[in-house]
Structure 1
C-alpha cells in the first residue's frame, strides 16, 4: 500500500543520519507498517531537502537493518519489510545527551497528562480499540519468561505507539507533532525501563489502567493514573543516571503523592 506519510526538512548538518532517523522513527511509531510503500525517492528527497544520493545511502542502511526493501520495476519502490528497528540504529542517530533527559521529563509532566485528559473528551470506540490492540500485542510479548533483544525492541515500539495513540485521540495535529518530538527525546530514558525487574509487566498493567481511565471520562482518574505512569520513568532515570532534577521542582510539577 502506498502510504501518504510526509517527511520534514532535514535541519542538521548530519543529513545522512537524520534521513535514517526520520524513516526509522515512522516505523517505530507505527505510521509506516509492513507492506507500505514509501513515496517516490524524488518526493522523499524533496520533502527532506536532501540529495537523492544521500537518501539512497540512508535507505541502504535501513535495508541492511531489515527495515526496508527496494524493489525494481514499474510496481517497485521502497517498501517496509520489517516493523522492528534495531535499537543500536536508533541510538546511533540519537543526539540528546543524558544530562538533558531531566528537562525532557519535566516538559512531559507539564504536557502529557493534559493530552490524556483531552483524549478522554474526544476519543472514539475506534481509538479505544486501537489502544487495546497495542496493549494486547505488548501482553503477548510477556508470555516468554525472558525477552530476547528483538522482543524488547518491539515492546518499546509498542509503548511509543500507545502514547501516540492517546495523542491521536485528541484529533489535534499540533498535539501529535509535539508528542512525536517529545517521544524522540525520551528514547534513551525509555530504554532504561527494561533494565528494571518486571518493568514490562508494570508497563502493560499501567497502560490498561490508563486506557480504563480515559474511557471512563473521569478527568481526576486520568490525572491520578498519568501521575503514576510518568513517575515510573522519572524514578528510573534518577536511579540509572545517579542524578535528580538540577533545580528545585515547583509545587505544581511534583507528583501528587509528594505534595504537602
Structure 2
C-alpha cells in the first residue's frame, strides 16, 4: 500500500513548522489506514503537499526514525517500520526491563555522575559541557529536534565523562538508546514541545562551582521531566 493514494496533506500555515509536520505525519501514519512496510511519498512530493522545505521535512522524519516509527533505506525510500512506539536498539536485558526499574537505575546513575563531576571536572570538561549546552538550546529554539536530542545526550555524556569513572561512563553509554527513544517520544506526544533548559543550566553551574548537593538536586529534577 502506498500513502500517495490517500488524502493529500494540507499546507502548513502556522506554529513551528517541525511541530506541525510531525503532527500531520503522525495523524496520517496512525490513522488506521496503513500497515507496516507501507512507503511514504517521495521527499519532493511530501515537501509539496506539506508546503515545507527539505530541512524541515527531514527533521520531522528523523524524530520518527528515532521513535522507531519510520525507517529510511538508501534507494528504497521511507517506510513505516512500526505502528506503535517501540524500542529495538537496546541491550537484550534492558529491552524487556520494567520501566520503573530503568528509571530507578537512571536515577542512581545520573545522581552519582553529577556528584562526581562536580568533584572531579576539569576546565576542558566544563568547556565540553558548555558547548553541548549552548548547542542544545540553539537547536531547540530553531526546532531542530533531532540535533537538539543529540546535543542533550552529549551534554549528559560529558557530565559522565567528567566523573572520571570509566565504568560509570560505559554504563551511561548503554543508556543512550533509551534516552534518545524517550526524548523522541516526548516530542511526538507533546503539541508544541517546550523544554525547561533552566534545569540544565543550573546543573552546569553546580558542577562549575563544585557543588555536589546542588548537582545531585538538579540531576534529579531533570529526571522528573522525563
Q: TM-score, normalised by structure 2?
A: 0.56
Change (3 A) 1:232 1:136: same
Count of equivalent residues: 143
After TM superposition, the structure 1 = structure 2 runs for residues 19-168 of structure 1, keeping only pairs within 5 Å, are 86-87=62-63, 88=65, 91=68, 93-94=88-89, 100-144=98-142, 147=143, 151-168=144-161
The Cα shift of 1:128 comes to: 0.8
Change (3 A) 1:197 1:226: farther
RMSD: 2.5
Partner Cα separation in structure 1 for residue 62 and residue 177 of structure 2: 15
| Residue matched to 1:211 | 204
Change (3 A) 1:156 1:142: closer
The Cα shift of 1:187 comes to: 3.1
Secondary structure of the equivalent of 1:161?
helix
Partner Cα separation in structure 2 for residue 124 and residue 164 of structure 1: 15
Partner Cα separation in structure 1 for residue 67 and residue 134 of structure 2: 25
Check whether the contact 1:206–1:229 (CA below 8 A) recurs between aligned residues. Answer: yes
Q: Which 4+ runs in 1 deviate beyond 4 A? A: 95-99, 197-200
Partner Cα separation in structure 2 for residue 140 and residue 105 of structure 1: 28
Structure 2 unaligned runs (5+)? 1-60, 72-87
Superposed CA deviations along residues 81-112 of structure 1, whole A, max 9, x for unmatched, are xxxx9341673643565873332111111221
Check whether the contact 1:101–1:189 (CA below 8 A) recurs between aligned residues. Answer: no
Aligned residue among 201, 205, 209 for 2:195: 201
Superposed CA deviations along residues 232-256 of structure 1, whole A, max 9, x for unmatched, are 11xxxxxxxxxxxxxxxxxxxxxxx
Partner Cα separation in structure 2 for residue 198 and residue 206 of structure 1: 19
Partner Cα separation in structure 1 for residue 212 and residue 102 of structure 2: 24
Partner Cα separation in structure 2 for residue 105 and residue 198 of structure 1: 25
Q: TM-score, normalised by structure 1?
A: 0.49
Secondary structure of the equivalent of 2:99?
helix
Superposed CA deviations along residues 132-154 of structure 1, whole A, max 9, x for unmatched, are 1111112222333xx2xxx1111
Superposed CA deviations along residues 151-192 of structure 1, whole A, max 9, x for unmatched, are 111111111101100011112221111001122233322223
Superposed CA deviations along residues 208-231 of structure 1, whole A, max 9, x for unmatched, are 111001111122111211121111
Aligned residue among 214, 218, 221 for 1:221: 214
Change (3 A) 1:190 1:143: closer
Bigger RCO of structures 1 and 2 (CA < 8 A, at least 6 apart) = 2
